[in-house]
């Protein structure tokens, strides 16, 4: 499988001279097409900083990053907004749905902005709604659906454009355990059936156990990496807990 993301020697320093803080140090990372990768680590480790840089929301102080063969570090703001819309899908903890639009309209919004034909929009929305189990609520408004359904709507919107890379920051953070499991199973289906590439930041070992590979970050550096091989999810979950214990910190 070819790599969808290359990051080389990425550094991020916050603050100004005399009052500097190194949030990321010499991060090297490669994500291959079809991976489901998790990022874990204690509070303040640099997880969100890394995600924000890879999602082009923030810029690194130094280092090289290419995503889908494009150099995102040197890209101009105008190109970046097209790049984000066409190549990336975002899933955040707070769903960011538009309350005046139905679930269906929320999901198809990115396609409408890209002027995709109506028939094609219809097909894609229904296919994704099936993957996430929300076909029955397509014509409801956000205030009539549950938190779990909102998050699955937000996830559907994030992937409706077939992004090269899906980025999720604590997507299960606001969900009860049943809704979290539903979302994680949908993301797994998306990864396995659609070969979508997913990177998920989480402090939750249960959520992380759905990933195929996990990077642990501590003090802005990659501390450990584990792969789910032939293990069951339960075995992988145990392994994650072991690494977290060796990491120390509160893992939030």
Q: How many Cβ atoms are within 10 Å of 52's Cβ, its own excluded?
A: 17
Output the smallest distance, CB 109 to ligand ADP, in A.
28
In the complex with Mg ion, the residue whose CB is nearer, 46 or 142, is 46
**Interface size with ligand ADP, residues (CB under 6 A):** 12
Give the strand pairing for 221-227 and 213-218. antiparallel
Sign of CA dihedral 174, 176, 179, 181: positive
C-alpha–C-alpha distance, residues 140 and 127, integer Å: 18
Among 48, 52, 70, 194, binds Mg ion (CB under 5 A): 48
Query: Of 214-243, which residues contact ligand ADP (CB under 6 A)?
Result: none
Choices 13-21, 133-141, 154-162, 234-242 (CB under 6 A): range interacting with ligand ADP: 13-21
With 0-12 / 13-18 / 19 or more C-beta atoms within 10 angstroms meaning exposed / middle / buried, residue 46 is buried
Query: Of 29-88, which residues contact ligand ADP (CB under 6 A)?
Result: 41, 43-49
Among 16, 19, 21, 117, binds ligand ADP (CB under 6 A): 21
Residue 14 site contact among ligand ADP, Mg ion, none (CB < 5 to 8 Å, cut-off depends on kind): ligand ADP
Output the smallest distance, CB 47 to Mg ion, in A.
5
C-alpha–C-alpha distance, residues 7 and 137, integer Å: 39
> If DSSP codes are grouped into helix, strand and coil, which group holds residue 57?
coil
Which pair of structure tokens corresponds to residue 20? Answer: 């500097």
In the complex with ligand ADP, the residue whose CB is nearer, 58 or 105, is 58
Sheet bearing 221-227, strands edge to edge = 88-91, 165-169, 198-201, 36-40, 213-218, 221-227
Residue 147 site contact among ligand ADP, Mg ion, none (CB < 5 to 8 Å, cut-off depends on kind): none
Output the smallest distance, CB 60 to Mg ion, in A.
17
C-alpha–C-alpha distance, residues 96 and 26, integer Å: 32
In the complex with ligand ADP, the residue whose CB is nearer, 50 or 190, is 50
Helix H or strand E encompassing 215:
strand 213-218
Output the smallest distance, CB 204 to ligand ADP, in A.
13
**Residues of the shown chain interacting with Mg ion in the complex, contacts defined by CB under 5 A:** 47-48
**Residues of the shown chain interacting with ligand ADP in the complex, contacts defined by CB under 6 A:** 14-15, 21, 23, 41, 43-49
């Amino acid at each position: 499988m070819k790599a969808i993301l290359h990051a080389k020697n990425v550094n991020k320093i916050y603050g100004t001279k005399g009052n500097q803080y190194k949030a990321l140090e010499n991060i090297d990372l490669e994500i291959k097409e079809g991976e489901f990768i998790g990022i874990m680590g204690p509070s303040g480790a640099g997880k969100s900083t890394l995600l924000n840089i890879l999602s082009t929301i923030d810029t690194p102080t130094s280092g090289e990053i290419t995503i889908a063969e494009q150099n995102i570090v040197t890209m101009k703001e105008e190109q970046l907004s097209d790049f984000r819309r066409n190549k990336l899908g975002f899933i955040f903890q707070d769903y960011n749905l538009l309350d005046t639009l139905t679930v269906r309209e929320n999901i198809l919004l990115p396609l409408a902005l890209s002027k995709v034909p109506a028939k094609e929009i219809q097909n894609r929305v229904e296919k994704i709604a099936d993957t996430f189990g929300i076909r029955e609520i397509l014509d409801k408004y956000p205030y009539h659906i549950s938190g779990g359904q909102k998050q699955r709507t937000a996830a559907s919107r994030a992937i409706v454009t077939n992004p090269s890379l899906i980025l999720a920051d604590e997507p299960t953070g606001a969900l009860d355990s049943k809704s979290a499991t539903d979302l994680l199973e949908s993301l797994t289906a998306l990864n396995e059936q659609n070969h979508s590439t997913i990177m998920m930041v989480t402090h939750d070992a249960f959520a992380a156990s759905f990933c195929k590979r996990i990077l642990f970050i501590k003090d802005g550096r990659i501390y450990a990496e584990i792969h789910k091989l032939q293990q069951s999810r339960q075995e992988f979950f145990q392994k994650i807990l072991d690494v977290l214990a060796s990491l120390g910190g509160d893992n939030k």
